[in-house]
C-alpha cells in the first residue's frame, strides 16, 4: 500500500540525533518522545519545528509494514510513545490490550479531524478513544485518458474485453478481491465461502484479459503507457499524475476499500503527555498541510483542507468526498482461517492458465 525508502530515513535518523545533541544544551529539556512511524511518512522539518517549540526531544524510528511493527510493540523492548499503524492493525492492537486510552483534553486539535473519518475510525476503534487519524486513502481505478476514451465509473471496466492485455491487477489477495466482491455487492471483509467462490469465478474469467498481476510496478507501467487501466491506491496518484497528466483516478460507484492510518499510544509508553503534545502538534492545520504536501497521502484535517487550492480539493484521489467514502469499507483483520481461505482461492486463480 505504501512505498518506503530507507536511504532517506538513515539520513533523517542522523539529523534527528544531531538535533537532539545540540538541542539539549540550548534549552531546558522537557524530556523525550519516542515516535515509531512509516518510512517517508512525515516532512522532516516538522520534527525540527516540534522540538524547537516544545523543547521535547524526538527519538524517531520507522517501520516498513504493519506486520513488522506489531511484534516490536508486542514485545515491548522499546517503549514507544506514539505509533502510526493502519486500521486493521489498530484493531488487533486494541484487541490485545496494547494501547493506552488518549486524553483528548491534551489533543484539542482533534476538532479539525473530519467527522466522516472519525466515523470510519469507529470500525476499528468503536469509541474513538485510542486513535487520531493521520492519513487516509481509497482503492480505485487509475486509467489513461489518452488510451481509453470511455468515462470509467465501475469496477466492471476491469473486465472490459476492449482493454484486453492492458489491464493490471494487484498481486495481493485482499486488494485483488475488492473488485469482484464490490461488483457482486458483498462485503470486502466477507469470509463466506460461497460469496468468495463467486468472486473467484469472476477473477478466473478476468485472468485472460490481464496483462499481469503487479504491485509497485503499476507506477512504471501506467506512467509509460504500457498498461492503460489498473487498480491503484490513491496515495501515490498525485505523484503519478505529475509524471503523466493523462492519468485519471476514480473510486468506482460500487464502493471500495479505504484505509486510515492513525496515531495511537502504546500501553507501555513512558511519555504519554509528550506523545499527546506530538499528536496535537501534527493536527495543527499548517503542520498537517505541510505534511500533506510532503507525503501526498490525503489528510483528514479539515483545517489543512481549508488552506488548500481548489484544484487539489477537486481531485478524487486526494479528497474522495463524503458520498464516496460512505460507500467504502475499511479492511478488518480476518484471522488465520480467513487469510488461509483467501490464500487458497488466490492460488487457484494464479494457477489457472
Partner 1 sequence: MGKRSLAAPYIVWMAGFIVIPLLFVFYYGLTDRSGAFTLENLAAIASPEKVSALLRSLKLSVLSTGICLILAYPLAMILKGLHVKKGSFVVFLFILPMWMNFLLRTMAWQTLLDRNGVINSILAFFRLPGINIINTQAAIVFGMVYNFLPFMVLPIYNVLIKIGDDTVEAARDLGADGIQTFFRVIFPLSMPGIVSGITMVFVPALTTFVISDLLGGGMVLLIGNVIEQEFTFTANWNLGSGLSLVLMVFILISMVLFAKYDRDGEGAVV
Residue 127 sits in the site that holds partner 1 (CB under 8 A): no
> What is the sign, positive or negative, of the torsion defined by CA atoms of 301, 303, 307, 310?
positive
Distance CA 232, CA 138 (A): 9
Which cell goes with 215? 504491485
Pick the closer one to partner 1 by CB: 223 or 304: 223
And the C-alpha cell for 193? Answer: 465461502
Quickly list DSSP for 294-334. HH-SBP-BHHHHHTS-HHHHH-TTT---HHHHTT-B-----
Q: How far is residue 133 from each of residues 25, 86, 113, 322, measured CA to CA in Å?
A: 34, 9, 7, 16
Q: Is 198 in the site for partner 1 (CB under 8 A)?
A: no
Q: Contact between 216 and partner 1 (CB under 8 A)?
A: no
User: Residue 217 interacts with partner 1 (CB under 8 A)?
Assistant: yes
Beta carbon of residue 343, minimum distance to partner 1 (angstroms, whole number):
5
| Beta bridge mates, 113 | 301
* Span 235-254, contacts to partner 1 by CB under 8 A: none
DSSP state at residue 109? G
Which residue, 110 or 168, is less far from partner 1 as judged by CB? 168
CB of 351 to partner 1, least distance (A): 4
Binder among 233, 278, 331, 346 for partner 1 (CB under 8 A):
346
d(CA 313, CA 92): 33
Q: Is 343 in the site for partner 1 (CB under 8 A)?
A: yes
Among 27, 164, 212, 314, the residue binding partner 1 under the rule CB under 8 A is 212
Q: Is residue 213 within the footprint of partner 1 (CB under 8 A)?
A: yes
Q: Does 164 bind partner 1 (CB under 8 A)?
A: no
DSSP secondary structure code for residue 215 in this structure: S
Region 280-339 residues binding partner 1, contact defined as CB under 8 A? 336, 339
Residues 23, 55, 173, 285: which binds partner 1 (CB under 8 A)?
Answer: 173
Q: Is 29 helix (H, G, I), strand (E, B) or coil?
A: coil
Catalog residues that contact partner 1 under the rule CB under 8 A: 67, 171-173, 207, 210-214, 217, 220-221, 224-226, 336, 339-340, 342-344, 346-348, 350-351
Amino acid at each position: 500500500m505504501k512505498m518506503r525508502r530507507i536511504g532517506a530515513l538513515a539520513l533523517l535518523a542522523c539529523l534527528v540525533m544531531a538535533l537532539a545533541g545540540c538541542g539539549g544544551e540550548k534549552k531546558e529539556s522537557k524530556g523525550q518522545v519516542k515516535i515509531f512511524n512509516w518510512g517517508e511518512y512525515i516532512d522532516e522539518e516538522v520534527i525540527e519545528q516540534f522540538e524547537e517549540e516544545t523543547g521535547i526531544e524526538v527519538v524517531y524510528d520507522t517501520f516498513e509494514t504493519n506486520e513488522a511493527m506489531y511484534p516490536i510493540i508486542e514485545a515491548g523492548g522499546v517503549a514507544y510513545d506514539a505509533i502510526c499503524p493502519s486500521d486493521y492493525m489498530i484493531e488487533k492492537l486494541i484487541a490485545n490490550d496494547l494501547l493506552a486510552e488518549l486524553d483528548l483534553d491534551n489533543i484539542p486539535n482533534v476538532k479539525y479531524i473530519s467527522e466522516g473519518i472519525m466515523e470510519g475510525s469507529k470500525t476499528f476503534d468503536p469509541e474513538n478513544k485510542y486513535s487520531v487519524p493521520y492519513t487516509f486513502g481509497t482503492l480505485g481505478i487509475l486509467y489513461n485518458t489518452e488510451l481509453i476514451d470511455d468515462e470509467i465509473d465501475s469496477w466492471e471496466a476491469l473486465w472490459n474485453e476492449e482493454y484486453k492485455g492492458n489491464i493490471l491487477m494487484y498481486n495481493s489477495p485482499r486488494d485483488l478481491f475488492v473488485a469482484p466482491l464490490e461488483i457482486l455487492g458483498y462485503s470486502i471483509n466477507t469470509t463466506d465461502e460461497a460469496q468468495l467462490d463467486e468472486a473467484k469465478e469472476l477473477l478466473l474469467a478476468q485472468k485472460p484479459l490481464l496483462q499481469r498481476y503487479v504491485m509497485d510496478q503499476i507506477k512504471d507501467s501506467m506512467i509509460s503507457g504500457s498498461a492503460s487501466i489498473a487498480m491503484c491506491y490513491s496515495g501515490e496518484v498525485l505523484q503519478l499524475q505529475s509524471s503523466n497528466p493523462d492519468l485519471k483516478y476514480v473510486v468506482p460507484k460500487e464502493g471500495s476499500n479505504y484505509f486510515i492510518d492513525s496515531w495511537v499510544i502504546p500501553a507501555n509508553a513512558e511519555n504519554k503527555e509528550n506523545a499527546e503534545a506530538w499528536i496535537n502538534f501534527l493536527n495543527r492545520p499548517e503542520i498537517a498541510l505541510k505534511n500533506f504536501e510532503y507525503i501526498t497521502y490525503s489528510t483528514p484535517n479539515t483545517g489543512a483542507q481549508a488552506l488548500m487550492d481548489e484544484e487539489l480539493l477537486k481531485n478524487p484521489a486526494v479528497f474522495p468526498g463524503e458520498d464516496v467514502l460512505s460507500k467504502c469499507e475499511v479492511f478488518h483483520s480476518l484471522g488465520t482461517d480467513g487469510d488461509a481461505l483467501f490464500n487458497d482461492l488466490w492460488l487457484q486463480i494464479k494457477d489457472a492458465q
